[in-house]
């Protein structure tokens, strides 16, 4: 019986470990898989992936109204507004949790995408359910 050289055994072991790690990563965690759901009365499709919930609001939606409603809503829920900016091209808001919430902050971004307003919500640490609750609340306030 012929023995493999030590260098070959080490290389094959490394290759096997790397392959196993790669295959384990292929399944992907919950953040890697995209999940979709309808929200609001309109209804509006929102997809969650990579820790962000993204929805395209109907054409004609006023971006400054969306950001204003979001700011007021999160403030009423006890959040501390860390930063807020709105321009004709888009808006950004970061709200810190006020209290014993299981998350630290919520970031809301808006931008024009074609004729629609793209709304993106991120919760840190990632929490899909909380992001969807924020979206539902925003849509309810906007009457959508």
CATH assignment, 31-142: 3.30.310
Q: Would you list the domain boundaries of the chain?
A: 31-142
Over residues 41-50, mean pLDDT: 93
Instruction: Quote the pLDDT of residue 22.
Output: 43
Per-residue pLDDT of 78-99, as tens digits, reads 999 999 999 988 999 999 987 7
**Cβ contacts of 78 within 8 Å, gap of 6 or more:** 97, 98, 99
| Ramachandran angles phi, psi of 134, nearest 5° | -60, -45
Over residues 55-78, mean pLDDT: 94
pTM above 0.85, yes or no: no
């Amino acid at each position: 019986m012929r023995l493999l050289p030590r260098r070959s055994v080490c290389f094959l072991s490394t290759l096997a470990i790397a392959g196993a790690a790669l295959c384990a990563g292929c399944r992907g965690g919950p953040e890697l898989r995209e999940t979709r759901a309808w929200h609001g009365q309109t209804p509006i499709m929102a997809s969650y992936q990579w820790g962000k919930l993204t929805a395209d609001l109907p054409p004609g939606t006023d971006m400054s109204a969306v950001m204003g409603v979001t700011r007021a809503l999160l403030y009423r829920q006890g959040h501390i507004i860390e930063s807020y900016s709105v321009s004709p091209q888009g808006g950004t808001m970061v709200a810190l949790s006020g209290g014993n919430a299981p998350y630290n902050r919520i970031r809301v971004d808006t931008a024009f995408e074609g004729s629609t307003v793209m709304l993106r919500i991120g919760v840190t640490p990632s929490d899909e359910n909380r992001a969807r609750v924020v979206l539902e609340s925003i849509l309810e306030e906007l009457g959508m």
